Amino acid sequence: MNVMTQVHPFLDGKTKRMLIGGKWLEAASGKTFETRNPATGEILAHVAEGDAEDIDRAVAAAREAFNGPWSKFKPAQRQALLLKLADLVEENIEEFAALDTLDMGAPISRTRGNKARAVGMLRFYAGMATALHGETINNSLPGEIVSFTLKEPVGVVGAIIPWNGPLTAAIWKIGPALATGCTVVLKPAEEAPLTPLRLGELCLEAGVPPGVVNVVPGFGETAGAALASHPDVDKVAFTGSHVTGQSIIRASAGNLKRVSLELGGKSPDIVFADADLSQAVPGSGMAVFANSGQICSAGTRLFVEKKIYDEFVSRVADFSKTLRVGNGADPETQVGPLVSQEQMTRVSSYLNIGRQEGARPLSGGERLTDGDMAKGFFVPPTVFADVRDDMRIAQEEIFGPVISAIPFTDVEEVIERGNKTQFGLGSGVWTRDVGKAHKLARAIRAGSVWINCYQAMDPAVPFGGYKMSGYGRESGVQHLEEYLNVKAVWIKTD
């Protein structure tokens, strides 16, 4: 498949505009920015560059929609819209996959899978739209007084998303908002704004009323910061780095907005000697190499039981050398480029830090620059052996295809060392011992524990962080609660 044919006519050479109040507008400043293909360095499109003024316009449109006819939509009507949107995304799945591959580099095989997941997510939120309900609660007050709760949408949601899975990230914010009756101003990442904008087109096509979903591309320090601090935004839903998450919290203080944060990680992936190694080798490898390591829950601290450490780590390194690195548009590619020059520089600096700290690269370790690769941002799958807990490559999020392999001797020890991190997003355990599996499932301080698998995700199963990986949950029934207020109603009847 030639992916370029899939994205015509969306990429027609014209400036991609922002969606505000149901209309496609230029930035108030008239400014635009470029979005590029990280595999080739080519410019894909010029995109309207939103800043505080555009965020203001979008928030006003979202508020008007929230107070207007949208508030009269019945749950079944919101459900119908979400189902229609799911159908439209499904019909255009190849285009979405191609757009994400071009804009952020992931292999087309992966972006196709993500798009199918995105459709499932929309249908899950559609189902939830008609399942929301309050409760009648027995109180102990004297006399006749009834108490019950109403679940109400929080209002205008500012959604700020990263570039590592643009369509799924956008749906993870728009889905619960539409299901609960909120309105949204979505700020895509500057590195990958295209699929969120295309999704905005489909929202209109599905019949989502003007102003309910607004999409304002722009940079973090301008558009993102304006959204996080806007006095008329009721909630911010953020996915990205923990440092930016902290600035979102500070920015939200002005009107004490609700905040949910899905941040970074340094997840332990623990392999016991009794594991099925034929599964654990590729499983632990792909726990990091999938999406070139640009996944918040990647299992980057690979703890391996000492008696199999040398053998296992060299098998993972051998596995890493079999992966085809290249342009994501090639269907054979398994590992694409990093998203940007900035990310490549950052990941490369960690490769140097790892060597300086005394870790031993068994595979990868250097940026690839052969032939056309020099035009893109390619870092090959890398396995560092002889890593110690106190090294920076064992503590800091690298966000690249880099495994830090660490030996351990027993269960209690690996629990303690596995939990010695500021983060708590994902974790993996590979064992055939059911007792160990259960023990680890409880002992690990992280929002997800994957046993004999990694990165399993489902729209019905909550995902989110402990500690500095953030708070709030996405997916699952819990996700909807993040977009709802609970109101208690008392009625005296005697």
Catalytic machinery residues:
262, 296
- Taking CB under 6 A as the criterion, the residue among 40, 241, 314, 348 binding ligand NAI is 241
- Closest separation between CB of residue 254 and ligand NAI, Å? 13
- Taking CB under 6 A as the criterion, the residue among 228, 316, 415, 451 binding ligand NAI is 228
Q: In angstroms, how far is the first alpha carbon of the chain from the final one?
A: 72
The gap from C-alpha 181 to its chain's centroid, in whole angstroms, comes to 22
Quick one: tokens of 457?
A: 């995700």
Does 209 sit behind a cis peptide bond, omega within 30 degrees of 0 on the bond before it? Answer: no
Any contact of residue 485 with ligand NAI (CB under 6 A)?
A: no
Q: Give the number of other Cβ atoms within 10 Å of residue 254's Cβ.
A: 12
Cα–Cα distance for residue pair 45/36, rounded to 1 Å: 7
Q: Which of these segments, 138-146, 222-230, 428-436, 472-480, binds ligand NAI (CB under 6 A)?
A: 222-230
- Taking CB under 6 A as the criterion, the residue among 29, 77, 147, 247 binding ligand NAI is 247
Cα–Cα distance for residue pair 9/122, rounded to 1 Å: 25
Any contact of residue 397 with ligand NAI (CB under 6 A)?
A: yes
Q: Are 102 and 3 in contact (CB under 8 A)?
A: yes
Q: Which of these segments, 2-10, 44-52, 94-102, 238-246, binds ligand NAI (CB under 6 A)?
A: 238-246
Cα–Cα distance for residue pair 1/43, rounded to 1 Å: 21
- Taking CB under 6 A as the criterion, the residue among 296, 298, 335, 393 binding ligand NAI is 296
Quick one: tokens of 483?
A: 């977009």
- Closest separation between CB of residue 462 and ligand NAI, Å? 16
Closer by beta carbon to ligand NAI, 168 or else 183: 168
Closer by beta carbon to ligand NAI, 147 or else 241: 241
Any contact of residue 221 with ligand NAI (CB under 6 A)?
A: yes
- Closest separation between CB of residue 165 and ligand NAI, Å? 8
Any contact of residue 474 with ligand NAI (CB under 6 A)?
A: no
- Closest separation between CB of residue 18 and ligand NAI, Å? 14
Minimal CB distance residue for ligand NAI = 220
The secondary structure of 430-467 as a DSSP string is E-S-HHHHHHHHHHS-SS--EESSS----TTS-EE-SG
- Closest separation between CB of residue 227 and ligand NAI, Å? 7
Give the H or E element holding residue 156. Answer: strand 156-160
> Considering only residues 149-178, where is the footprint of ligand NAI by CB under 6 A?
160-162, 164
DSSP-derived 3-state class of residue 186: strand
- Taking CB under 6 A as the criterion, the residue among 49, 54, 100, 190 binding ligand NAI is 190
Dihedral class, residue 155 (left if φ above 0, else alpha if ψ from -120 to 50, else beta) = left
Lookup result for tokens 């369509």: 167
Cβ burial of 207 (10 Å; 0-12, 13-18, 19+) is exposed
Closer by beta carbon to ligand NAI, 244 or else 334: 244
Q: Give the number of other Cβ atoms within 10 Å of residue 216's Cβ.
A: 31
- Closest separation between CB of residue 403 and ligand NAI, Å? 16
- Taking CB under 6 A as the criterion, the residue among 166, 217, 224, 299 binding ligand NAI is 224
- Closest separation between CB of residue 51 and ligand NAI, Å? 12
Identity of residue 311: E
Residues within the interface to ligand NAI (CB under 6 A) = 160-162, 164, 187, 189-190, 219-221, 224-225, 228, 239-241, 244, 247-248, 262-264, 296, 343, 346, 397, 399
